[in-house]
Amino acid sequence: MDVILLQRIEKLGQMGEVVRVKPGFARNYLLPQKKALRATDANKARFEKQRAQLEANNLARRQEAEGVSGKVDGITVVVIRQAGETGHLYGSVSARDISESVTKAGITIDRSQVLMDRPIKMLGLHPVRIALHPEVIVSVTANVAKSEEEAEAQKKAGGFVPTVEEGPTLDDILAEVEAPAEEQAPDGDGKAAAAEAEAKPEKKAKGDKADKGEKAPKAEKKPKGERKGKAKAEPGDD
């Protein structure tokens, strides 16, 4: 679809240019926002009659935007959000959130003036472009953190600061290694345990001695006849 731009549109063209865009982009954004007209012969003639007035209005708005750009450009706004240990947000920061944060800082802007390709989904410092006017673009920094304290730490560090669990210090390790001798020596219970440990090898030695003693002599083998039972009676014994 061909349209006539009524103002400068980034990546499209300047005011008064006739450009071709996708029908959906024209119907859903350019035409409802009054940023363009359908490029019909009637609209072209209408634009040429109003060109001088449109250009004058655009110049006035641009000068107004340039007057406040110094108050907005480079400021940092803090946005508090919940997030995991790796910095991923439980949700996201949208253009609406940025516009509300900048408005709280003293400069009223609309979410349509926030130029974001995608929502912010990580903790840290994120540059965001703000269109005060189609020809006046400034940048602010969104400091997305879990608390005001973490936002201050991120500002000093220049980005997201991961949370690190605290371990024992070097002094703690040295103090444990160089403990006093009396703390390392066994107490009353320790002495009893040591004595018991010494007694066990002695008992084991006695048992070994008994095992190694002389074996009992084997019983003498009985004659073959005796092993079978009583000997047979010889004749004449009766």
Residue 75: band (very low, low, confident or very high) from pLDDT cuts 50, 70, 90: very high
What pLDDT does 220 receive? Answer: 54
The Cβ of residue 141 has, within 10 Å, a number of other Cβ atoms equal to 15
Whether this prediction's pTM lies above 0.75 is answered by no
**Per-domain residue ranges of the chain:** 2-68, 76-157
Q: What is the mean pLDDT of the chain?
A: 80
Per-residue pLDDT at 10: 85
pLDDT in tens, 201-235: 554 444 454 444 455 555 555 555 544 444 444 44
76-157 architecture in CATH? Answer: Roll (3.10)
Q: What share of the chain is helix, strand, coil (3-state, %, to 5)?
A: 45, 20, 35
Residues 6+ away with beta carbon under 8 Å from 179 = none
Q: Given this model, what pLDDT does residue 200 score?
A: 55
Q: In CATH terms, is domain 2-68 a member of 3.50.50.60?
A: no
Distance between CA atoms of 132 and 144, rounded to whole angstroms?
A: 22
1-33 residue pLDDT tens? 999 999 999 889 999 999 999 999 999 999 998
The top-scoring range by mean pLDDT among 62-71, 168-177, 224-233 is: 62-71
Alpha helix locations (H) across the chain? Answer: 23-25, 41-72, 95-104, 148-157, 170-177, 181-184, 188-211, 224-228
Of 20-24, 153-157, 189-193, minimum mean pLDDT range: 189-193
Residues 34-48 have a mean pLDDT of 93
What whole-number percentage of the chain has pLDDT above 70? 68
